[in-house]
Amino acid sequence: MFSRVTGWMSADMAIDLGTANTLVYVKGRGIVLNEPSVVAIAEEKGKKKVLAVGDEAKMMLGRTPGYIQAIRPLRDGVIADFEVAEEMIKHFIRKVHNRRSFASPLVIVCVPSGSTAVERRAIQESAESAGARRVFLIEEPMAAAIGAGLPVTEPTGSMVVDIGGGTTEVAVLSLGGIVYSRSVRVGGDKMDEAIIAYIRRNHNLLVGEGSAERIKKEIGSACPPEDGEGRTMEIKGRDLMNGVPKELIISERQIAESLAEPVGAIIEAVKVALEHTAPELAADIVDKGIVLTGGGALLSNLDFVLRHATGLPVSIADDPLSCVALGTGRALEEMPKLKNVLTSMY
Amino acid sequence: MAAENQDSGNTPSAAGAGGVGSLLRETRRQLGHDLDTVATTLRIRQPYLLAIEDGRFQDLPGATYAVGFVRGYAEFLGLDSKEILRRFKQENGEYAARAELVFPSAVSEGSIPTGALLGIAVIAAAAAYGAWYWYQSRDASVAEAVPALPDRLAALIHRPVGNSAEVVPVLPAEGSKPAETAATGPAEPQAAVIEAAHAPTGTGHDEVVPPTEDEAQANNAAGQQAVAGAATPSPAPAAAPSAPEAGAPAVAPPPLGAVAPAAPATEDVRSSVGKVGKAGKLKEAKDAKSAAPKADTVPAPGGEASPPPANATATAPAAGAAEPDTNEIQTAAAATPARGSPRIVLNAAENCWVEIRDANGHVVSTRMLHKGDSYAVPNRPGLSLTAGNAGALSVMVDGKVAPSLGAMGVVRRNIPLDSERLTTPVKEDPAPVKDESPAAGGSSAVAPAPTE
């Protein structure tokens, strides 16, 4: 009863706790925070202290001296470092929460549909210890579908493919529930790794994660261009042969080649999901097609590849990066109505 | 605007479709693409492509899909998809608005929501409590000092005594009148029925068994009366002779079953007459009393035996007549008057506070007696008096002034309001009781007259 009263004063929030980025949606205000899920920790006299979180910490990634650690507490969509994740959530909540109100907020956090109970519990507990009054969990594909504006509550099948930083979620939804979902631990991170591995293997050049991500965003493509090399880009790194920094030009075709494996894994996941879809729902999906959300949807030609592989129309949602956060936020705004998509571990 | 151009190819100016649809169509024509090729390339079904070109966005599966299809189509045609989408959304502002999500929910089982039910229940409970409280508080103002009606008096109220008194004059009552006259003997025959009822008692004592104790005789008389009353139904004259005899022979004739209990009672009395104990008397009195109601309440068999209603009514007064006797007996035994005027009256010579409690300690009355006031003490056993100024009170017992309770200004507590104790402040022994009883009998015999 008392918590309900204080709930009016606190800013309830929905958090898309992603591997790459964390987005925070505050009730009535929309998405107020979008920062990389990176925490920089300094060790002073054996005591760990948070030095920076978010954008600032991401700048430190791969450039830290010995006493500073830039950590990405989430891997493959789930918490890898519990304490750091807790610190990060605490920081984000403090950053967006109205300082004047002393009440702790209600928080909805999305979790990958393929996460285990232990992983979900870890997320819920870290959110609770970060100062949340009450924590609800929502499955990522459901949040993505709601955020993309799909008619998830209608008796018609919708397929959503959410390609995040750590995981790719493929789900078929109907009547407000997930009919089938498949989660593969392939996402933006795996693409970056694939690019790094490709460049090292083919050009003996070691590039960092940040550079790989930049390459992916600029000239990344799911399929090689029809003719020629496509766009090109200068990349810098360390030469593995003689150990000196080096710069070279890489083309779109090469990157597409490097991304073939993770893209193939995504296509495979979608195909498997379609195989497991009930015929009636499959008929609906043939009609309407697949909706892509998440940062991976921005990879150029991914829709073309998927369309080609599945023979279905593929649409990219508006603002795919914030679909999950928007969907989680909508679940928060319409909490009484969307109560049954929310879960709690206890 | 939707129905304008259903045929796919040859409507050059699809102005009605607005900007986006017609622009897409124009571009496709310029590029020389067939709708079929677009459909196979984009995997978007042809009807949807047509709907986009015609601007029938409501025919598309949903806002998200429509946006996706338009974007795909624009990119296929090499147009700036962002600009196309911006215009598309501008055209279909309300359509692109997010759809309402309505989750399927189970049909609620109860017609009334539990919350409302709970609220109603709470309100009803509060109202009930309020009503009860109001009712209680209103009742509380009524003086609690009024003592409950003793059983004896309550019984009298419900008895047909009054009835008989009223009924008798109306009805012929041939049966009772002879009985009466016979019983009273010297008494005047015109006397009221009640008087007649008491008259036998008196005469009973005086004439029939002078040596025995009064109570026993009264008992006897009561038994006889009961018998007489019960007997009247069958032979009215038969009862009449029984009364004058007023002894053993009167009891002999009882012919009816209803009289049977009464008869043994009276016989007992007679047998025990020689060595009458107080307890015995009391018991007898009770027996007689119980017999009387029987005779009274079971007029049906009597009525059956001799149908005429006149007889039945005759029974009633007779039985009624029997009762006062039993009452008198009882009161005589208990040494307290049964009813009527109070025996003890407190007169205040000066202002005096008095409190009267009953045997259980409950306050019967507490008040200030002002100079000249008098207070009639209710006729109940076990009452005790607390006087704030004992000297100011003069106690009247049966009209006689009792010894003073104490000096002026003396507070006296727990003075038993017992007529004999008041009259004789010394500790009483069984003897005064015997002496008292005739007086009691006399007083009670007098008493009924004013009451009725």
Are A11-36+71-140+322-341 and A150-184+260-319 in the same CATH fold? yes
Mutant choice from B46, B101, B102, B105 vs A, greatest count of A C-beta within 10 A: B101
Which B-chain residues 139-178 have CB contacts (< 8 A) with chain A? none
> To the nearest whole angstrom, how far is the Cα of A208 from the nearest Cα of chain B?
32
Query: Can you give the pLDDT at residue B170?
Result: 43
CB atoms within 10 A of CB A2: 7
Smallest CA–CA distance from B63 into chain A, residue: A149
| A14 labeled part of a ligand binding site | no
Helix axes of B151-158 and B309-334: crossing angle, nearest 10 degrees:
170
Query: Can you give the pLDDT at residue B151?
Result: 79
| A165 labeled part of a ligand binding site | yes
CA A4/CA A297 separation, integer angstroms: 39
Query: Can you give the pLDDT at residue B79?
Result: 87
| A214 labeled part of a ligand binding site | yes
Query: Can you give the pLDDT at residue B436?
Result: 42
- Which residues in A lie closer than 8 A to residue B71 (C-beta atoms)? 315-316
Query: Can you give the pLDDT at residue B439?
Result: 42
Say yes or no: A312 contacts chain B, CB-CB below 8 A.
Answer: yes
CA A311/CA A289 separation, integer angstroms: 9
For the stretch A210-237, what's the b/e string if a residue is b when 16 or more beta carbons lie within 10 angstroms of its beta carbon? Answer: ebbbbbbeebbbbbbeeeeebbebebeb
Say yes or no: A317 contacts chain B, CB-CB below 8 A.
Answer: yes
Interface contact flag, B69 A313, Cβ < 8 Å: yes
CA angle A10, A16, A18 (to 5 degrees): 145
Tens-place pLDDT, residues A198-257: 999 999 999 998 899 999 999 999 999 888 888 999 999 999 999 999 999 999 999 999
Query: Can you give the pLDDT at residue B13?
Result: 40
- Which residues in A lie closer than 8 A to residue B63 (C-beta atoms)? 149
Mutant choice from A150, A173, A322 vs B, greatest count of B C-beta within 10 A: A150
> To the nearest whole angstrom, how far is the Cα of B85 from the nearest Cα of chain A?
10
Band of residue A171 on the pLDDT scale cut at 50, 70, 90:
very high
Q: Measured between CB atoms, which of B61, B98, B103 is closest to A338?
A: B103
CATH of A186-257, one of 3.30.2010.10, 3.90.640.10, 3.40.50.300, 3.30.70.890: 3.90.640.10
| A6 labeled part of a ligand binding site | no
Mutant choice from A284, A285, A288 vs B, greatest count of B C-beta within 10 A: A288
Interface contact flag, A149 B45, Cβ < 8 Å: no
Q: Measured between CB atoms, which of A175, A287, A312 is closest to B104?
A: A175
CA A208/CA A237 separation, integer angstroms: 7
Query: Can you give the pLDDT at residue A233?
Result: 92
- Which residues in A lie closer than 8 A to residue B61 (C-beta atoms)? 156, 287-288
A316: which 2 tokens? 């990219």
Query: Can you give the pLDDT at residue B146?
Result: 66
Distance from chain centroid for Cα B196: 39
Pair A20, A37: CB distance under 8 Å:
yes
Pair B167, B315: CB distance under 8 Å:
no
Interface confidence (ipTM) of the complex: 0.86
Q: Measured between CB atoms, which of B69, B102, B103 is closest to A315?
A: B69
Query: Can you give the pLDDT at residue A195?
Result: 95
Tens-place pLDDT, residues A113-157: 888 999 899 999 988 988 888 999 999 999 999 999 898 888 999
CB atoms within 10 A of CB A320: 21
CB-count exposure of residue A116 (10 Å: 0-12, 13-18, 19+): exposed
Tens-place pLDDT, residues A18-40: 899 999 999 888 899 999 999 99
Say yes or no: A134 contacts chain B, CB-CB below 8 A.
Answer: no
A115: which 2 tokens? 């996460």
Band of residue A188 on the pLDDT scale cut at 50, 70, 90:
very high
User: What does DSSP assign to residue B57?
Assistant: G
Nearest to A151 by CA among B78, B420, B60, B387: B60
Say yes or no: A318 contacts chain B, CB-CB below 8 A.
Answer: yes
B428: which 2 tokens? 């009483």
Query: Can you give the pLDDT at residue B99?
Result: 65
User: What does DSSP assign to residue B105?
Assistant: -
Q: Which residues of chain B have pLDDT under 50?
A: 1-17, 162-286, 288-338, 426-452
All structural domains of chain A with their residue ranges:
11-36+71-140+322-341, 150-184+260-319, 186-257
Amino acid, res. B6? Q
* Beta-carbon contacts of residue B180 (< 8 Å; ≥ 6 apart): B189, B191, B193, B196, B199
CA B354/CA B349 separation, integer angstroms: 13
Pair B52, B46: CB distance under 8 Å:
no
Which architecture does CATH list for A11-36+71-140+322-341?
2-Layer Sandwich (3.30)
Query: Can you give the pLDDT at residue B142?
Result: 56
| A20 labeled part of a ligand binding site | yes
**Looking at the domain that runs over A150-184+260-319, which CATH code has it been given?**
3.30.420.40
CA A345/CA A122 separation, integer angstroms: 10
CA A150/CA A154 separation, integer angstroms: 9
- Which residues in B lie closer than 8 A to residue A312 (C-beta atoms)? 43
- Which residues in B lie closer than 8 A to residue A146 (C-beta atoms)? 101
* Beta-carbon contacts of residue A6 (< 8 Å; ≥ 6 apart): A102, A103, A104, A133
Amino acid, res. B36? D
CB-count exposure of residue B124 (10 Å: 0-12, 13-18, 19+): exposed
Strand A13-17 versus strand A106-111 pairing type: parallel
